[in-house]
Chains A and B, each alone.
Chain A
Amino acid sequence: MDETDLQDEFQLLKLESGATLKEVERAYQRMKALYAENSLASYSLFDEEERCAKLVVIERAYERIVQFLLQPKRHAGEEPAAQCPKRETDDIDMNLAPGLYLCAVREKTGRSFQELSAQTKIGRTHMENIEAERFEKLPAPVYLRGFVLEYAKALGIGDAEEIARIYLERFQQFRATA
């Protein structure tokens, strides 16, 4: 996936080309606030149905952009994780971007997928898909919950249950709108 494939999504969130994850997150929050129920700036311009439709496309656009920004950029012989810019976990809201949160924690710990896979017995592809929130590629909820829980525990996240719950909620949301 290239940024040019996501022109509509960038436009929808009023993002400039080359936006960072943090900017994407902020733009997403802004747009969600604009089309939230009872939003002063939009309720008398758009009816309920349009407003909800807007929220759905905003959600999709956000997910696609985040997926794109998190996709590993591979070069021969290099460990993809090493190329990701370091993200601060404090900047990321676990409730809004649980996948991104897991990714940031992993980067912070400096542990490799290989190592984590050996410990958790979860395949590397699954871990990557979980971090990138590639919902369409993830297994059924019953397995997914276990994966996220194990992964979060392996990363030393205190409230692994909570992040698994949030993750599943987002997964179900995606299922409902897809």
Chain B
Amino acid sequence: MARVTVQDHDLVVTIEGLDKLWALKSSLTIPLRNVRGATVDPGIVKQSKGIRAPGTHLPGVITAGTFHQEGERIFWDVRDAAKAVVIELADERYARLVVEVDDPRVTVALIESATRGS
């Protein structure tokens, strides 16, 4: 589970609880100008995730860490597919983040309002 907040001009994604261990990361800070959008996407968990390095992938249990696919680096932290949100980035280490959040619609609305007009 991740907590997504906006602090000044940054989007801060904090990885909570034991997921920190599986994902090998405790937080990510992304300038809002590098955030292209966010989407509620429960279906993404079913698609191929590419090659994991480094991180944890127990199919059906948890997908966490850095994955490489089609030349892109993607960060995952998802246990419950129903709560997956995709955050698309530009000019960042990761092309996109796929994270589980408490309330996907609220998170997407937060990101859309924080990045509006940018």
Chain A complexes with chain B: no
Question: Which residues from chain B sit less than 8 Å from chain A, CB to CB?
Answer: none
